Amino acid sequence: MVRRLRLFLASPLLLALLVGCGEEGSDPNAVAAAKCTLPLSQRLLLPEGDRVSLEGVRVEELPGGRRGVTGIALVRVEDGSEGTTRSHEFSCVVAPDAADKLRGLRLETLDVPGSLDAWATAAPEQVVRSYVDALSIGDLELARSLSTPAHARLVQGQTDSWYRNVVHIVDLTLQPTRPEGRDVFVPVTFTLQQRRAVSMPNGATTWGLQAQRGDGALAHH
């Protein structure tokens, strides 16, 4: 069955560290910072496979084993022969999660001021891919921002809400899009892993996502 979704395209301890590829090891602060890099890359609309680099990173120990990460995300932008680097302040909170086999953490919140502005002109395929990726990594602010308010409320109220129940989504493949009136329908397939399989089984999944257009462009709310 093809499922459809409508999208509008005490004294805290502060530790400073610089995180680089392969440097996280067993340092819990470095692991927490590394957990934020993929969500940051997706939020900032980097091409698939590219990652931001971080500088000025500070990690704060929070109650319940959570950690708050702040710093600057750097993005290299090719601009002619020179190229430029954009910088974005960010704050990220991660929490323990045994379901994450890589780092044992889940994303709780991510704040990157101004980062959602770029979605106003994003292509339907990019919106759909980023919505599914956001669900997979737990970037709920991005997932909600790409959904109609009615759909976001519907998902929030479900017993097995995708906002709370998804462990990960992998093997995402977008099929050719087709117009449906003023909208764009994007068929997708992926492999789904949930905390509890209730209304949908785990495993191979065929889905369809419908990007709603506003005045000639995807409208995000």
Q: What is the mean pLDDT of residues 89-115?
A: 91
pLDDT of residue 32: 94
Tens digit of pLDDT for each residue in 24-37? 557 999 999 999 99
What pTM was estimated for this model as a whole? 0.69
* pLDDT greater than 50 at residue 141: yes
Residue 53 or 23, more confident: 53
Mean pLDDT across the chain: 80
Q: How far apart are CA 156 and CA 45, in angstroms?
A: 25
pLDDT of residue 216: 29
Tens digit of pLDDT for each residue in 72-89? 999 877 665 566 788 899
* pLDDT greater than 60 at residue 103: yes
Q: What is the mean pLDDT of residues 81-101?
A: 87
pLDDT of residue 185: 87
Longest Cα–Cα distance of the chain, Å, equals 57
Asked whether 117 and 137 are in contact (CB, 8 A), the reply is no
pLDDT of residue 208: 84
* pLDDT greater than 80 at residue 188: yes
* pLDDT greater than 50 at residue 21: no
Vertex 127: Cα angle to 136 and 206 (nearest 5): 60
Contacts 24+ apart (CB under 8 A), 59-65: 59/14, 59/15, 59/17, 59/29, 59/32, 59/33, 60/12, 60/13, 60/14, 61/12, 61/13, 62/12, 62/93, 64/95, 64/96, 65/95, 65/96
pLDDT of residue 220: 30
Residue 14 or 60, more confident: 60
Q: Which residues contact 157 (CB under 8 A, 6 or more apart)?
A: none
